[in-house]
Structure 1
Amino acid sequence: MSKERILVVEDQPDISSLLKIYFTSQGYEVFTAMRGQVALEICSKTPPNLALLDVNLPDMEGYDIGKALRASPRTRHIPIIFLTARGERRDRLVGLGEVQAQYYIVKPFDIEEVHMIVKNQLDDARRKNQLHPVTNLPTADLINDQIRQLLSTQGWGMALVHINGFETFTQSYGSVVGEDVLKFSALLLNEVVNELGSTEDFVGHMVVGPTFVVTSAPDRLKAICERMMTRFDEEIGLHYNYKHRKQGYIEVTDDQGISRQVPLMSLSIGVLTSQDGPFYDIRELSETAEETRQRTVQQARELGKKSWVTFGRVR
């Protein structure tokens, strides 16, 4: 299981260093930023599990960071705790009301009290099954909430992205290396969506298995899928040893003792848009997306391709 990530946004080096040293010693992975723009870049690339925000920053107010996180489907779930010297009533109302932060703590603070609040917030998110334990991407209820919102609108696209051959790879290389592949895939998805998508786009990871969900506008989603496949096929070989990478497959033995060759991992992607509807509930949309993705596996095999994408439902 990955360490939970905390983002500390603080422009005073002594306080930033104190928080990083303390929370690192408690077993968290800590990112720090002294400017708001840097914090937003971190959140778009590797969304944290929780954000500790100062209000007074050189380039923007911490409130603006919080509002930006709340505005994006990929980060709106992140718990926000303000640590600031601004303790006026109107400041608290902005932080707790407009930004919808979980806590507003005025400096000077008791670091053990802050830790207890952070721990409780992360425990609560874990109980709600909101984040995947390996990739820290939204999962379960957050994916369902996103799909539910799609069903009430028009002009959307949804991609179901599955890593073919992941189970065989994990059996051969071990679960720890398998988790590295999931982290790599999540990071790659975020990078591609940041490059070709918008802040309105969503990336999630299904609770079970190596399957991801991406939502975006149809035209952007097409470009995202194509770039994702190209980069995945180019870079996935780095997770194999030299022999397997060079020959392009790994050898496995089944229960009957028969040896077979399994190609290197690839992606199968099924894409649906609002034009493929109507879809009446989450289950119907999810099952249709999976049927579309399954067609992709067959098409890729027939065409001799690695990763492949299929657009549209079967009528």
Structure 2
Amino acid sequence: MSKERILVVEDQPDISSLLKIYFTAQGYEVYTALRGQQALEICSKTPPNLALLDVNLPDMEGYDVGRALRASPRTRHIPIIFLTARGERRDRLIGLGEVQAQYYIVKPFDIEEVHTIVKNQLEEARRRNQLHPVTNLPTAELLNDQLRQLLVAPRWALINVHINGFETFTNVYGAVVGEDVLRFVALMLNEVVSELGGNEEFVGQQSVGQSFMITTLPERSHAICERIIARFDEEIGLHYNYRHRKQGYIEFVDDTGETRQAPLMSLSIGVLTQDDGPFADIRELSEVAEEVRQRALIQAREQGKRSFAIYGRS
């Protein structure tokens, strides 16, 4: 299981350092930001599992950081805890009401109390099965909620991404290395979406592990898919040993005991937009997206290509 990521947004270096040292010692991966814009840039590339926000920041109020997190499909599920010197009733109402933070703690704080609150919030998220245990991407009901929103949205694109050959790879290299591949893909997808997308994008992962979904706008879908394919095909070889990387395939023993060859991992991508609908429910939407993705896999094999994308159901 991956370490859970905590983002500390605090402009006082001594407090920021204290929180980072403490929570790192508790087994968390801790990111720090001294400014609000820096925090939003971190969230766009590697969304944390929880955010600890100060209100008084040099470039914007922490409330604005919280509002931006709530406005983005990729970060709206993140628990927010305010740690601030501003303890007036009006401030609390903004933090808990407008921003919908889970807690509002006034400085000076008891760090062990903060840890208990953080731990409880993260345990609650795990209990609801909201995040994938390896990549920390939204999954299960969070993914379904995003698909439901597509059914009523006027314009959208759904990108269904699947890692071909992943099971064979993990059988040869082991589950731990397989988890490294999942984390690589999750990070790469977030980076591509952050570079080419906006605030509307969502990146999630199906519970089975090797399938991912991105929601975006139709005019961005081609560029996003092309960049994903280019980066994956260029970088995936780093997860193989030199011999397999050079020969372009790996050997494995099948159930009959016979040695076979399998190509390096690739991606098959199916893309739907609102023009491919209407869809009755998210089950039909997911099934059609998978059908298009399967067509991409078949055409890639027929044309002798590696990663491949198909746009539209017909």
**TM-score if structure 2 supplies the norm length?**
0.99
Letter in 1 for 2:130: Q
Q: Is the 8 A contact 2:249 2:264 kept in 1?
A: yes
Q: Deviations over 1:144-187 (max 9, x none)?
A: 00000000122111011000000111111111111110011011
The answer to whether structure 1 residue 285 and structure 2 residue 285 are counterparts is: yes
Q: Which runs of 5+ in 2 are unaligned?
A: none
CA distance, structure 2, for counterparts of residue 154 and residue 294 of structure 1: 26
Letter in 2 for 1:101: A
Q: Name 1:123's counterpart in structure 2.
A: 123
CA distance, structure 1, for counterparts of residue 96 and residue 260 of structure 2: 59
1:59-208 equivalent positions in 2, closer than 5 A: 59-208=59-208
CA distance, structure 1, for counterparts of residue 305 and residue 20 of structure 2: 46
Deviates more, 1:151-160 or 1:297-306: 151-160
SS at match of 2:272: strand
How far did residue 209 of structure 1 move?
2.6
Percent identity between matched residues is 78
Q: Name 2:213's counterpart in structure 1.
A: 213
How far did residue 208 of structure 1 move?
1.1
CA distance, structure 2, for counterparts of residue 221 and residue 128 of structure 1: 30
SS at match of 2:184: helix
Q: Is the 8 A contact 2:272 2:289 kept in 1?
A: yes
Q: Is the 8 A contact 2:268 2:293 kept in 1?
A: yes
Aligned positions, number: 314
Q: Is the 8 A contact 2:182 2:209 kept in 1?
A: no
Letter in 1 for 2:215: T
Q: Name 1:35's counterpart in structure 2.
A: 35
Q: Deviations over 1:174-214 (max 9, x none)?
A: 11111110011011101111111111111001111300000
Q: Name 1:275's counterpart in structure 2.
A: 275
How far did residue 117 of structure 1 move?
0.5
Deviates more, 1:72-81 or 1:9-18: 9-18
Q: Deviations over 1:116-160 (max 9, x none)?
A: 100110011111111111111111101100000000122111011
Q: Is the 8 A contact 1:197 1:221 kept in 2?
A: no
Letter in 2 for 1:54: D
CA distance, structure 1, for counterparts of residue 309 and residue 61 of structure 2: 42
How far did residue 260 of structure 1 move?
1.4
**TM-score if structure 1 supplies the norm length?**
0.99
Q: Name 1:9's counterpart in structure 2.
A: 9
Q: Deviations over 1:9-50 (max 9, x none)?
A: 111111111111111111111111111111111101100000
1:241-280 equivalent positions in 2, closer than 5 A: 241-280=241-280
Q: Which runs of 5+ in 1 are unaligned?
A: none
Letter in 2 for 1:281: D
SS at match of 1:251: strand
